[in-house]
Structures are given as structure tokens and as C-alpha cells.
Structure 1
Amino acid sequence: MQSLFAVFIDGAIYASWLFLVAAGLTVIYGVMRILNMAHGSFYAIGAYSAASMIGWYFADGSGNAWVSFLLLIVCALAAGLVVGTIIERGLLRYMYGRDEILMVIITYALLLILEDVMKIVWGVSPYFAYQPYTALGRVSMMGLKMSTYDLMLIGVAIVVGGALYAWLERTTLGKILRAVIHDREVASAMGVNVAKMFTITFLVGATLGTLAGALTAPAISVVPGIGVEVIVLAFAVVVVGGLGSIEGAAAGALLVGLCRAAAVHYAPEFELFVIYGVMSLVLAVRPQGLFGRTLARKI
């Protein structure tokens, strides 16, 4: 029983992290039909920004660990808005309407460029921001000791997922975005400023990416290359759940997280392959993903 509980908790923690990473990616694709390969760089920028701010705040050893949580959020919001605005206004707005494969190539090139930019800005030495992670201590449940910070990520993922769902389903702006998703040409003909909707969507997606990085920074060593690793996992999650679906991203993250946790506990030699195994099995049965919809092709 304790072993099953450990698998459930570890899987839920990993799934919450995966969802936070993948949420921004699926929001951008759902509205803009852009599979943003540079999303991993947003994650890395959020992690580096947060680690730098936390390091500066605790430089003299007198910082308040609880204040550092606020700094994580502020860094994520600032980094997402700044980087998202520069990329969307400076590059992507000139590419709207192009073939989806071309957009993948463009954003992949942007990923490579941003990876080098981050090395120029932050160097190649690792950054550590452990203070927020240790501030919450550890808790004991069913004989297992777990980090309270890791458990907090589950709550954050639930809040973020609920907020996104409510935004898209219950607000006027969300209904306009769903109209753009359904048919951007008709939405434009009805007076919707599609370009403005794209800007808002991209900023939300970029901020979700930097938020995931900022919240992850206290639990990891922030080093070059973390963005490349993350985009592969995020892509697997959104493909399993269905591209462009928030509920699909949540279901995909939970399925992948639990399967990976089970592999770690019972068959660690398969841990590296289980994510792609799950993706292959799901796509073999439902090529559009668990919550993906088959779209009619326009001729």
C-alpha cells in the first residue's frame, strides 16, 4: 500500500510539473495553430530569471524565505511579458498565416538562438535558488517524507488549470478566443481583432512557460540546455492529450506522470522510454490524442 501511495504522489508531482510546462504550449497552439518549439526557452528564461533574483535577494544572507515566493511569481510574469512581447511583436506577427511546418522551423530556430543568448547573459555555470524549496520543510504521510514545496506544485497546477478553463469557457474574452479557434476567418469578418487576440494568447502562453521555469528553479540546478529537454517532454504531453486542449494537457500530464512514477519504482530501466511508449500507444489508438478533435480540412 505504501508503495502504491508513493507511486501516486510521485506521479502527481511530476504530472503537475508537466502540466505547468505544457499548458502554455497547448494554449498557443489551440488559438494560433503554432507549435512553438521556443516554448522550452521561455521555461529556461523563467528559471534563470528566478534563480538570479533569488540569488541576489539572499546574497547577504538576511533575506526572508517567504518573500522569495513572491519574487518567483514577479520574475515569471515580468520575463514572460517582456520576452513574449519582443518575440510576438518583433517576429511572429509577420509570419501569421504561413504553413504550420514553416512555423515549427522558425520557432525551432528561435529556440537555438535563445539558447545561445542565455549563455551570453547568464554564462554556463549552474545557478541555485534552493531557499524557497527548503523554507516549506517536509511533511510525513503514510510513512513517507515528502517536500512540501513539491506538494505545493500540485495545488499550483490545479489553480492554473482551473483559471485557464474558466478564462476560456466563462469570460467574454475566452468566448472570442474560442470563436477564433473555431474559424479565424469568420471571426475576423464579424469584427474580431484577430491580431490582438493572437498577441494576448502568445503573452499568456509565454508567461505560463516562464512561470513553470520560475517555480521549478528552486528544485533543480539551472544550467544550459534545460529548455531543450523540457520542450521534448511538453510536446509528448500535448500530443498524448490532444493538441490545443487544456483538459487534454491535464490528462496527458497525469497519464505520463503516473506511468513514469510506476516505472521509476518498479522498473527503473524503462524510465527513459515510458513517456514515449505511452505516446506511441495513445497515438496508435487515437492519432488526434485523448481529447483532440478531428478537424475538417478546408479546400
Structure 2
Amino acid sequence: MNESMIVLAILDGLSFAALLFLVALGLTLVFGVMNVINVAHGSMFAIGGYAAATVGIWAASIGISGYASLLLLPVVALAVGAFFGGAMETFLMRPIYRKEPVLQLLVTFAAFMVLEDLQKMIWGTQPYAVSAIVDALGAVEVFGITYTRYQLFVLPLVAVGVFLLVRYFLRHSLLGKQVVAVAHHRETAAAIGINVKRICLLAFVAGAALGALGGAMSVQTTSWVSGIGSEMIVLSFAVVATAGLGQIEGAFVAAILIGLARSFSVYLAPELEVLVPYLIMALVLMLRPQGLFSVAKARRV
């Protein structure tokens, strides 16, 4: 493996890690606040991609530039998160918050199956592809390797920006501190006057929007096909489990670790590409069942 291949593997790994982190962050946020493993989160990723592709095709048809289309991506993600995330939290999750976790898991899985069929009804099974944003930004040479500016700069900067923004929001804003309070102990938070229902709705919508943002960013470089959400949700679970459930900083590091490992495996052992993220997860869980960044807690009886 020569120097050029190493550089290319690192760049590929970091750009993939950026997308993976956005989706895993949404999953982490929902679990951290609501203690719910949202299987339907993969559908937010897929719908975000389809919606962004649709908007991108429409924007190109009326002459909107690729630069302007880039600004539409967070708008699309927020719209998907507000509509689908808000509907799921209000009508599906809210009635079963106090039910058994297995029921919550089954409900989110059922929602995932319904949303998968909904995608086929709306967008069909033919692949979608948009490249106006990537084409507008162009490419640059890095150590003699031609690489798109979108993957080199935009994806990592968006991921880092979102990470810092969410971290600042949770640590320094009043609403963010309320989110943290609900995540730590819902009953105590309610007792001191925090509107727990509003916080749960906010967390679910934000999580769905982050998943949709990951899809909206990813569709610019990937041909979008039916079922693409399934692969991403499984990889996101690997990131979350490796980091530790509810660990935002940990998810950031774990996404980079898994992204780089997956990228290097493509060049060194392509047959192991799919397996590597889960091998990392399995190894971490054998050594630290609570994840790399979680602290083991005594079980409450």
C-alpha cells in the first residue's frame, strides 16, 4: 500500500465517518433523552436522501445553482425531521413511553417497515442520483490525487460544525440543560417543572432531522436506491454501541474509528469491508460491555 493509497484511504474514511456520525448522533440523541432504540431512524436517512434528490432535481430544472442548492440541504433535513419525527413521537412513541422496551423496539421496527414501503410508493425502486452540488464545488489535487471539494471539505466541516453546535447547545443553553436533565432522570425533571413531553418531542425531531441531514448530504455522492436506510442504521448502531449508548463525544470518535477502519479494509482486504465495523464493535463490547466512553453503572432494582 503506497503513500497515495494511504492518503486516499484516510480521505475516504473521514468523509464516510462524517456521514456516519450525523446519523449516529441522531440515534444517540433519541436514546439518550428517551431511552428508545429507534429502528426507524434508518428511514429518516433514506427519506432525507430522497427528498434532497427531489429538491436538487427541481432546483436544477429552474436554474438554481449548485451552491444555492447546498443551502437547501439543511432545510430539507429539518422539514423531514419535523414532519416524520414529530408524527412518530406524537402518535407512536408517546403512548408507549412507560411500556416495556421490547414493545418500543417492535413499534419502531413496524414504523421502519411502513416507511420503507412508503418510499417505494413515492419514489419507486429506480435509483436516484444528483451531482449539481459536487460538480459546482469542483475537485482539488491532494498529494497528486484528485478529490472532490465536497467530500474533502464540506462533509467533514458539516459534521464537526454539527458536533460543536449540539455540544454547545446541551452544555450552555437553558433548553439544552433541560434536555440533559430529562436524559438523566425524567421523573425528577418533571418534578422541578420541566415540560418532559416538549423535550421528548424536541429530541425526537432533532434526531430525525440529523438522520435526514446525513441522507441529504450522502445522496450527493451516492446512487440512492430502495433499502439504503437498512445498511446505514446497522452501521449507526455499531457506532453507538462502540461509543456507549447516549455518548455524543464518543459517537464522534467511534464514527472516525469505524470510518477509517472500513476505508482501509477496502484497500487491504476488500472481502472484509462489510465485516470490519462489526468486528470492532464486538471486540469493544467484549472488553467494555458499556462501550468505550460510557461509565459502568450499578443496576437499579
Band the TM-score falls in, shorter-chain normalisation: over 0.9
1:73 partner amino acid = P
3-state SS of paired residue (1:145) = strand
Partner residue, 2:272: 270
Question: What residue number does 2:206 align with?
Answer: 204
User: How much does 1:280 deviate?
Assistant: 0.8
Matches within 5 A, 1:219-298: 219-298=221-300
So what's the TM-score if we normalise by structure 1? 0.96
Deviation at 1:11, TM superposition (A): 1.6
1:2-21 → structure 2 map (5 Å cutoff)? 2-21=4-23
Partner of 2:151: 150
Cα distance between partner residues in 2 of 1:50 and 1:2: 33
Q: Aligned with 1:58: secondary structure?
A: helix
Same amino acid, percent of matched pairs? 43
2:67 alignment partner in structure 1: 66
Q: Distance in 2 between matches of 1:128 and 1:176?
A: 40
CA distance in 1, matches of 2:266, 2:23: 21
- SS of the residue 1:209 aligns to: helix
Q: State the Cα distance separating 1:254 from its structure 2 match.
A: 0.9
Equivalent position SS for 1:91: helix
In 1: Cα distance, 2:61 partner to 2:33 partner: 42
Cα distance in 2 for partners of 1:2, 1:48 equals: 34
Tell me which residue corresponds to 2:110: 109
Q: Kindly state the Cα deviation for residue 95 of structure 1 after the two structures are TM-superposed.
A: 1.1
**C-alpha separation between the residues in 1 aligned to 2:206 and 2:287?**
32
Deviations, residues 96-142 of structure 1 (Å, cap 9, x unaligned): 12222221111011100100011111111222211112111111111
- Structure-2 separation of matches of 1:269 and 1:44: 26
Q: Secondary structure at the match of 1:139?
A: strand
Letter in 1 for 2:262: R
Deviation at 1:291, TM superposition (A): 0.9
CA shift for structure 1 position 295: 3.1
Provide the C-alpha distance between the structure 1 equivalents of 2:300 and 2:190, rounded to a whole number of angstroms: 17
Match of 1:88 in 2: 89
Query: Which residue is equivalent to 1:120?
Result: 121
**2:65, 2:132 within 8 Å by CA — same for their partners in 1?**
no
> Which residue in the other structure is 2:171 paired with?
169
SS of the aligned residue for 2:141 comes to: strand
Q: Which amino acid aligns with 1:218?
A: Q
Gaps of 5+ in 1: none
Query: Counterpart of 1:214?
Result: 216
Question: Residue 297 of structure 1: CA displacement?
Answer: 2.4
Secondary structure in 2 matching 1:29:
helix
- Asked if the contact 2:92/2:107 (under 8 Å) is kept, the reply is no
Distance 1:106 1:251 in 2: 30
Question: Counterparts of 1:93 and 1:29 in 2: how far apart (Å)?
Answer: 14
CA distance in 1 between counterparts of 2:65 and 2:263 reads 34
SS at the partner of 1:275? helix
Equivalenced residues, count: 298
Q: CA deviation at 1:212?
A: 0.8
- Counterpart of 2:144 in structure 1: which amino acid? G
Q: Distance in 2 between matches of 1:217 and 1:4?
A: 25
In the alignment, residue 179 of structure 1 is paired with which amino acid? A
Query: What does residue 55 of structure 1 align with?
Result: 57
**SS where residue 146 of structure 2 aligns?**
strand
* Deviation sequence 1:217-261 (CA, Å, 0-9, x none): 111111110111111111111000111110111111011011112
The one-letter amino acid of 2:117's match is D
- Counterpart in 2 of 1:35? 37
Residues in 1 aligned to 2:297 and 2:175: alpha-carbon distance in whole angstroms: 23
1:164-194 CA distances to partner (integer Å, 9 max, x unpaired)? 1111111111111111111111111111111
Q: Which amino acid aligns with 1:268?
A: P
**2:128 partner letter:** Y
Relative to structure 1, the CA distance from residue 69 to residue 100 in structure 2 (aligned partners, 3 Å threshold; closer, same or farther) is: same
Unaligned ranges ≥5, structure 2: none
Which residue does 2:185 correspond to in 1? Answer: 183
What is the TM-score with the length of structure 2 in the denominator?
A: 0.95
